A = this chain, B = another copy of it.
Amino acid sequence: MLKNAIVGQSGGPSAVINSTLAGVIDACFKSDDIGTLYGGRHGIEGMLAEDIIDLSALYSEDMLNRLKASPAMALGSCRFKLPSPSDGAEIYEKLEAIFKKYNIGYFFYIGGNDSMDTILKLSRYFKEAGSDIKFAGVPKTIDNDLTLTDHTPGFGSSAKYLATTMREIITDTSIYNVKSVTIVEIMGRNSGWLTLAASLPKLLGGDKPDLTYLPERPFRDDSFIEDIKHAFEKSGNIVVAVSEGLKDEQGNYVGSSCQSGAVDIFGHAYLSGVGKYLEMLVRSKLGCKVRSIELNLMQRCSSHLASKTDVEEAFSVGFNAVQLAVGGSSGFMACIKRTNSDPYSYEIIPGDIEKIANYEKLVPDRWLDLDDPGVKREIVDYILPLTKGDAEKTLDEFGLPEHFNLL
């Protein structure tokens, strides 16, 4: 009897995570080695609650195309930190029973760093238990902070949104003859990849955003104010790109003095907004017109601006993860290996989950000097190919985007 497969989505949304799900579905239904494909709703949490659906009904070109054009997670998400087997034996036993009941031979988990930790723990546990279930991680995170892969699906679309929106904000803020500072806050707790993408208008040869601050380098309030004064010597309307995760020299989040100290269930500090803090700082120190803009959920869910390259690659990562698992791999994440930048090409290879889960890929040191022409070129060569092309949209009868979910 053929083994079945199960797939779940976890973590924060992106514009292309459903394209990866479509790739998994397509590969499973095309495979002669997989019986039924099940979906766990709300990730591992839903699987534990046996909130499991048969995805056979989705297997049509039309359904896969609609899925590819919908942001966020059609299967729903969760923020569930799997305990170690010693702390949560009953969870592992429950999963074992459910996998047995559904005759699961393949487990696909689409997500970011926390999801790869789930793959790591499950693959270790089931291997030790003598099970031959194949566990495959499929990367998605707009943060682009997973190791061993050239980049993560979702990053290209967010980068395209950020570069486009930043250019629009630059144009919008350039029209008044009044000194002003506009601070744009971009996602990224520890890594500045997205803030680099928001700086593309400058990296490509423009003069704005005037200033860029990544979390990879300690931030100082006084240097920031000096940088702005200096920027005002060249332009009256200063635009600043900042990562939400900026930290001071002691490693505290910038602005944390006005925060409560609350943490989320993964133990991350709850951030109330570096942009708003810097806005107050500029108003207090310089007294000029200042506003902060938080790009919020829009930077991860704007599928109307999704990159065609990203959507197709996300599909391909999901598709190949299935093929690798069917070929016998387990305990891996499907990684993107760039084989050329211009024209852009890549292949999908398995990466050892032991070297991925709980690691974090930061922007390399030598890329922190954005005024260096060589660095500019390298960053552009890295990011720009991933933003290329407009993804297909599915519109409803009213001309608005039509989204699809299974919740």
**A165 and B200 contact, CB distance less than 8 A:** no
**A73 and B165 contact, CB distance less than 8 A:** no
* Minimal beta-carbon separation of A347 from chain B (angstroms): 24
Contacts of A78 in B (CB 8 A): 176-177
A387 lies within 8 A of chain B by Cβ = yes
Task: Give Cα A77–Cα B403 distance, bound, in whole angstroms.
Answer: 38
Task: Give Cα A305–Cα B303 distance, bound, in whole angstroms.
Answer: 12
Contacts of A297 in B (CB 8 A): 168-169, 172-173, 182, 293
**B293 and A174 contact, CB distance less than 8 A:** no
Given A280-B265, A284-B266, decide whether A168 and B301 contact each other with a Cβ distance below 8 A.
yes
Task: Give Cα A139–Cα B285 distance, bound, in whole angstroms.
Answer: 38
Contacts of A266 in B (CB 8 A): 280-281, 283-284
Given A168-B71, A283-B268, decide whether A176 and B76 contact each other with a Cβ distance below 8 A.
yes
**A167 and B268 contact, CB distance less than 8 A:** no
A33 lies within 8 A of chain B by Cβ = no
* Minimal beta-carbon separation of A168 from chain B (angstroms): 4
Contacts of A121 in B (CB 8 A): none
- Chain B residue with minimal CB distance to A270? B280
Work out how many copies of this chain go into the complex: 2
Interface of chain A residues 350 through 405 with chain B (CB within 8 A)? 384, 387-389, 396, 398-401, 403, 405
**A258 and B265 contact, CB distance less than 8 A:** yes
- Chain B residue with minimal CB distance to A301? B172
Contacts of A267 in B (CB 8 A): 284
A164 lies within 8 A of chain B by Cβ = yes
- Chain B residue with minimal CB distance to A404? B171
Interface of chain A residues 311 through 354 with chain B (CB within 8 A)? none
* Minimal beta-carbon separation of A199 from chain B (angstroms): 12
**A175 and B258 contact, CB distance less than 8 A:** no
* Minimal beta-carbon separation of A5 from chain B (angstroms): 21
**A71 and B172 contact, CB distance less than 8 A:** yes
Given A200-B400, A388-B399, decide whether A174 and B407 contact each other with a Cβ distance below 8 A.
yes
A241 lies within 8 A of chain B by Cβ = no
**A70 and B176 contact, CB distance less than 8 A:** no
* Minimal beta-carbon separation of A159 from chain B (angstroms): 11
Interface of chain A residues 40 through 63 with chain B (CB within 8 A)? 42, 45-46
- Chain B residue with minimal CB distance to A393? B390
A302 lies within 8 A of chain B by Cβ = yes
Contacts of A172 in B (CB 8 A): 13, 71-72, 297, 300-301
Cross-chain pairs A/B with CB under 8 angstroms, 25 sampled: A13-B172, A42-B176, A42-B177, A45-B177, A71-B171, A77-B176, A167-B403, A168-B304, A169-B298, A171-B301, A172-B297, A172-B300, A173-B297, A201-B400, A204-B398, A204-B400, A257-B265, A264-B284, A291-B296, A293-B294, A293-B296, A293-B298, A304-B305, A384-B399, A387-B399
Give the B-binding residues of A (Cβ under 8 A).
13, 42, 45-46, 70-73, 76-79, 163-165, 167-169, 171-177, 182, 200-201, 204, 257-258, 264-268, 277, 280-281, 283-284, 291, 293-298, 300-305, 384, 387-389, 396, 398-401, 403, 405, 407
